[in-house]
Structure 1
Amino acid sequence: MKPENVLILPGWQNSGPAHWQSRWEKAHGYRRVEQHDWMTPQRGDWMARLEDVVLGADGPVVLVAHSLGCILTAAWAAHSRSTARVRGALLVAPGDSERPDLRDQLPSWSPIVRQRLPFPAVLVGSHDDPYCSFERAQGFAADWGARFIDLGNAGHINADSGLGDWPQGRAWLQELQKDTH
């Protein structure tokens, strides 16, 4: 698969330069799906943008989502007619946009779509994620039909987690790419 067909889906407020998503993008040539508004995201806008990028890709894609990007993946997959173009998804630290503190800031992101994804997925969760309880992450994985990976105490699995280039995450992405060919 061409590197530009690995689509990086950051969460709310985007992923900064020290985030593993940004490091992968720079090191491997993956393509970030740029959103119109990272600070006040609208679910419909983000879904439309993802649809445009998937349709514009030269061949099948793999999604690499973090936080709100995971919630975007589920919402997009439930409404898109282009899901056959997706070979798989690596979903990391889903942000629970139904929590009262997040729902107030992200009103268009509730309810979270909980239907099975039409493509293979792996969901990586953490016991001490401040934006999603471990049990909710496991529930999302079950509802979405994703294989669940317990990363232990890794916070929000972002730059603050000290993962650097996160080689283990890349290995899971590569496994997912192999499994879906």
Structure 2
Amino acid sequence: MWNRSFLILHGVENRRPAGHWQHELALALRGRGEQVFYPQLPDTDRPSLEAWVEAILAELALMRGEKVVVCHSLASTAWLHVAAAAPAAADRLLLVSPPGPAAFDWDVIAGFDPAGLDLGGLELAAQTPRLACSDDDPYCAEGAAETYGAPLGCDVDVLPGAGHLALDDGYGPWPAALAWCLDPAERLAPNR
């Protein structure tokens, strides 16, 4: 019986490609005997917030033991909406590179805009959530640490020059993400 399980959630237009840090994380965790859920969320090119929240809640219902959730990009803001519907649905949470306010001008993801949510009032997880972001993310020019970290009460790790923390930014295997999954005291460090 598993005493913890992991849910890894991707962003828009992400088909869970081999080599991406989330794909590599799922493989590494499974290789250690961990229970890992890494679903392909519906309609990844034109996502619907309602469909993504429904899919995420369905995956959460399958998890056993400590629930650890790892979100990248649009999944990070989808999680904010999940938290509004199901407070503290996770025990531990890692948000990576959430899109900033200007990104929601793109009609494809506009429905995921968290602007209508009370960020300070959300219960994202049972433990203090962690946010990992870059200081030069093109999808969050406003700065994720300021936009999300402080209002959500997250522990924040800013990774200098890491872009969107995607495969093109050098985030294939990301040992720091695996280390955090195994021990929440670990800080998220850049790939160098």
When normalised by structure 1's length, the TM-score is 0.85
Structure 2 residue runs without a partner (length 5+): 31-35, 187-192
Q: Which has the higher helix share?
A: 1
- Secondary structure at the aligned position of 1:153 is classed as coil
Deviations 1:15-64 (A, max 9, x none): 32121001111222232132121111111110111111111222331101
Distance 2:144 2:56 in 1: 25
Residue identity matched to 2:48: Q
Distance 1:26 1:175 in 2: 17
Of residues 88, 91, 102, the one that matches 2:92 is 88
Deviations 1:117-145 (A, max 9, x none): 34221101101111012534432011211
Distance 1:134 1:6 in 2: 30
- Secondary structure at the aligned position of 1:5 is classed as strand
Identify the residue that residue 53 of structure 1 maps to in structure 2: 59
Residue identity matched to 2:18: P
Residue identity matched to 1:56: L
* Larger displacement relative to structure 2 (60-69 or 164-173): 164-173
Deviations 1:81-140 (A, max 9, x none): 6x35x11111111122x3156432212112443243342211011011110125344320
Distance 1:177 1:64 in 2: 15
Percent of matched pairs sharing the same residue? 28
Of residues 27, 34, 38, the one that matches 2:44 is 38
Identify the residue that residue 110 of structure 1 maps to in structure 2: 113
- Secondary structure at the aligned position of 2:94 is classed as strand
When normalised by structure 2's length, the TM-score is 0.80
| CA RMSD after TM alignment | 2.4
Structure 1 residue runs without a partner (length 5+): none
